[in-house]
Structures are given as structure tokens and as C-alpha cells.
Chain A
């Protein structure tokens, strides 16, 4: 059952409200800018796609258009942060951090200044634009840079909160965003704290009227959390007990929550819209290999590029839908 402590939206399985996670950035940036006048937003010719145009409208003097030049945007932002501003830099993740990674590493990472790198249009769910624009490597690129916090929000509401929190963090942050409209699961009351994972689904036995021990712990990041919840509900119907944890911060990991859930279940499935290599699943595997080795199945892109198509069909084609999560859970149980 949905964890009541997570205070998720009602009827998320029937008619969930829909919005892209990037819309959460658009709202959050305006809030962050209202709260702190040091906040500035830069873009590389993608104000509307990144939703930075909301900030542009609210604070025209604090919005900086850098042209199609992501390396310039990152280094201009580094200079602004060295001065004392709190810059958000916005473009597609394929270019930011895809094209300007070295600039981010040197001038933001090593300098350790609070620039918030926002990579939009992450994952195959970008859809028709095709493989060049479907960033599937960005979390791997960013979690390997020391000093960086890496956040991948599950929906627009969580993205809004994460944006506001990132502006207050005082450290380099990478935030990953999606283009497609996806279900809004969280509410303003859902707890959010950078670095703190939230258990959103707990196994519950209706007949006994009490919680039961999960057989598998599902850890998800980004909008595929929704597919994980759909899978959990289906599995419950089949008598398979799982927990689902929303890991919005993939670095630093909430090791306490993750280890607690993993140990309780004894098997794990990780879910991300990203390459299996070096991403979220890898981060979980690194932790578990060190602390409590357990069987793991990885949902994500298996060393391949995407292609044009509709987001839904691409998610299905590449094995990241709820049915694939159900299969992965059954597979990992056998390996216990």
C-alpha cells in the first residue's frame, strides 16, 4: 500500500494529474529567485524548453542569455558564483553536462562553487527528437565529480521543492529533468530533504490488517517511480510483497534508508531512465557490495542508444515499464 507518511496525491493510480518534471524547475526557480536575490538563471538558447522563461519573465535582469554555447554558460556561471551569485545553468542534459563536462568539473567542481547544473530532456522519454537528444549518461558523468550533489526528481512537485532546496545548499548540484508529462505523485505535504530517500510503498496484508516483510526492495529515481508503484500494486495483487523507495538524491545516497530497506527484503531492483553503467543502479550496487551484498536486478538502458518514437513506446521498447519491473522482481526473488 502507499505509505501514508509519504502523503502522496490521491487517486494516483486512476487519474493522476500530469506535468513534466521540468515544469517543477520553472516554478521552483521563480520561488528560489523570490527568496534570494543572489539567484540568477542562465540558458543556452533554450529558455522555453528548459522552463527558464518563467524566471526570465519574473526577473529579467537576473536572467542571462548565453547563446548556443554551453561551455561558455558553465564558465560564465562559475565566474558569477565566484563573485557570490547562485546561478542555475539550463540546457538539455545531452549538452549540459554532455558538452561542457570538463568546464563543470574544473570551474565548478574543483572550485566548489554553488552552481546548479540543470540537464533537461533526460532519458528516452524525450521522444521524437531521437538518440542525440536523449541523455542517458548524465548521472554517471555527474556523480563521479567530487563536491557535486546529484538530484533526479520523481515529478514536477518534487522538482519544485528540490530547486528551492538546491539554491539554499551552497554547493555544486546537478539536477536531471524530463520533457514528457508524467504523473504527479507527491504533494506539497510530501516530505522532501536533499539526501533523504522516501519509502513510498510498503507491503501490507489486507487479510491480516498489518504490514508484512517485503520480498524485494525497489529503489527508483526520477519519473519511473510511477512505473515502480504500478508494478508494486500489481505484485501485491499477485501476493508478492515489495517496498518502493523514492531515491531523488542519488548522491549523496541516503545509506541508512537504502540499507534498511535492502536488508529487510534481501533482494533489490533498481529503476532509472539512464544507462545501467555508472548511473543510479551502479550507485546502489556500490553501496550494497560494500555493506550487504544482495542479488540486484537493474532496470534501465543496457548499453545502447535510444531512437525516435513516443515516450511511452520507447519506455516499453527499452524495458523500463511497469511490466518489466514486475518481471525483474520475480527474477530477483529466484536469485535470493
Chain B
């Protein structure tokens, strides 16, 4: 991979910004859905869809494309927004999120939207699916890569660790898992609900290569993806430290915004009925 220019870094930041605005707009239109996770993953999804993934929005079934399995399906607004901005479908369609007959289901369905790769929502099954995909692709000598976006909370699911064990055993070096380490889940902070650390040590003990990054530092994340490509003997996990709700100061880091849309969550300074407007205003003035 060639080095990023300052101009490219700036453009990726703009894409992340546009994705955040769309996330808020679509959640407001839906009146339900998850806010914190999608905002926290906007930089990573901008990097994936505008730099890292080998893909073609006009030909989503292209056989040689890189595959992105979204394991924690509840953050799908960030994926819908990134796909729309990348040209998979009109950005306006994002406003149909969670509505009757929409292709943009509350949790993603593969059959409904080209480019979605798999159905998800029930937690903990993504790493195994991505591992199966990577295993099958390697059997046939394919050289595309398989990415899997996961949450930290779903590392409380046994299925996740079964998949980690499987990928470690079979040295699936064509697989990159990205963990959104935002430290929150619905009921509270992860380390209160069910302590997950030391995550790096755990993955390394399961024979993975681990790279820790600031999930809001796009060049750092891209460098980690490049490094993963160069690791030939193990699968790689990018432990991306992110801030849930990133971009809207009042809600950043607050677990109570995990599964709440604008207009329905707790804010000290903004009345609930003004949240949508205030959040968009804050994003747009950045």
C-alpha cells in the first residue's frame, strides 16, 4: 500500500463526518436504534469503504471483492451510511431504516441488501462465520481478504471464543478481525458487566497477531490493516480503542446511549426533544 497523503487523510475524515451525520439522520427518522456504537465506528467504516476494502459498489457480488462480515449487527447504521456514501444505494434511502418493507432492516439481512454478506444481530457468531468464509476461500486459493467487525461485548459469548480458537488453529492469515473496544454494552460498562481484559493477551494465547490502535486515528487503523496483510502465519485482530458516541460530546462514553436513538437518551444540557437538532448542529459545525 502506498502512503497516505495529507489530502487523502483529510478526505477520509470528511467521509467519516458525512457518515456520522447520516447515522443521526437515519436514527431520528427511524425513532429507534443504536447511537453510540455506530458513531464510534464511523472513522473505521470510512477507512474500510473508502480505502481498505477491495470492492465495487456497482457490482456488489464481484467474486474477488474483500468480504466484510459485520458480527455485531446492531451497529449496522454505520455500515448502511458508509455503503450509501460509497455509492451502493442513494443516501436518501438511509431514511427508510427500520421501516416496513425497507431493505435496511433494524439488524442487517443478507438477502435484502446486496453487499451485506451476512445476516447478523444475535451476538457472537461473526468470527466463526468469517473464519468459515476465510477457510473456504483459502481452500480454493482465493486471494481476497475477509474482515470481521466485532464488538467488545460480544466477547462474552462462548461462540466468539470458539471462532477465535478455530481461526487460530487453522492459521487463517487471510482473516482480520476488528474489535470495537468501546467499553460499553447495554447494561453498563463492560468491565462491570463481565470483565473482558486482558483482551490482547487472550487473543495472543489463542495464536493470533494483535495490533492495538486508536480507532479514531484513520492512518493508524489503515497501517494496522496493511500490517495484517503482511502477517502470513496467523489471523490478526485489530484492537481498536474507540469512544462510543464519538462526535457528540454530551453522549461520548455513556453506556446509556448504547441502544437509544436521538430524542430518547439522557443528556444534561439538551432537552430530549432538541437532541436530534443539537446533535446534527454539533456535527455540522465541526
Asked if A64 and B135 make an inter-chain contact with CB atoms under 8 angstroms apart, the answer reads yes
| In the complex, B132 has a CB within 8 A of chain A | yes
Give bound CA distance, A40 to B159, whole Å.
21
Residues of B within 8 A of A85 (CB): 136, 139
Task: Give CA–CA (A81, B129) in the complex, Å.
Answer: 9
User: Which of B30-38, B74-82, B118-126, B260-268 touches A?
Assistant: B118-126
Cβ contacts under 8 Å, A110 to chain B: 109-111, 119
A107, B162: Cβ atoms closer than 8 Å: no
Are A76 and B110 also in contact (CB < 8 A) when A82-B117, A110-B119, A111-B119 are? no
Query: In the complex, what residues of A have CB within 8 A of residue B158's CB?
Result: 71
On chain B, the residues within 8 Å of A71 by CB distance are 124-125, 128, 158-159, 162
Q: Counting CB contacts under 8 A, is B237 at the interface? A: no
- The minimal Cβ–Cβ distance linking B158 to chain A, given in whole angstroms, is 7
With A and B bound together, what is the CA distance between A223 and B128 in angstroms? 35
* Majority-rule SS of A interface residues: helix
Given contacts A75-B128, A107-B119, are A67 and B165 in contact (CB under 8 A)?
yes
Tell me the bound Cα distance from A69 to B124 in angstroms: 13
The closest CB in chain B to the CB of A70 belongs to B162
* CB within 8 Å of A: which B62-83 residues: 69
Nearest-neighbour CB distance to chain A for B170, whole angstroms, equals: 8
Q: Which of A66-106 contact B (CB under 8 A)?
A: 66-67, 69, 71-72, 74-85, 87, 102-103, 106
Q: CA–CA, A78 to B132, complex, Å?
A: 7
Residues of A with C-beta under 8 A to B109: 110
Contact with B along A42-74 (1 / 0, CB 8 A): 000000000000000000011010110101101
A75 with B163: CB separation less than 8 A = yes
For chain A, the bracket of interface size reads 20 to 34
The answer to whether the Cβ of B137 comes within 8 Å of any Cβ in the partner chain is: yes
A112 within 8 A of partner (CB)? yes
Known contacts A67-B166, A72-B159, A111-B119; A79/B133 CB under 8 A: yes
Could you tell me which A residues sit within 8 Å of B by CB distance? 40, 61-62, 64, 66-67, 69, 71-72, 74-85, 87, 102-103, 106-107, 110-112
Nearest 9 pairs of A and B residues by beta carbon:
A79-B132, A72-B162, A75-B128, A76-B132, A79-B129, A79-B133, A83-B136, A69-B162, A80-B136
What is the interface of chain B, defined by CB distance below 8 A to chain A? Answer: 69, 109-111, 117-122, 124-125, 128-137, 139, 158-159, 162-163, 165-166, 169
List 26 A-B pairs, Cβ < 8 Å: A40-B139, A67-B165, A67-B166, A69-B165, A71-B125, A71-B159, A75-B132, A76-B128, A76-B135, A77-B132, A78-B118, A79-B69, A79-B118, A79-B128, A79-B131, A82-B133, A83-B136, A84-B136, A102-B122, A103-B122, A106-B125, A107-B125, A110-B110, A110-B111, A110-B119, A111-B110
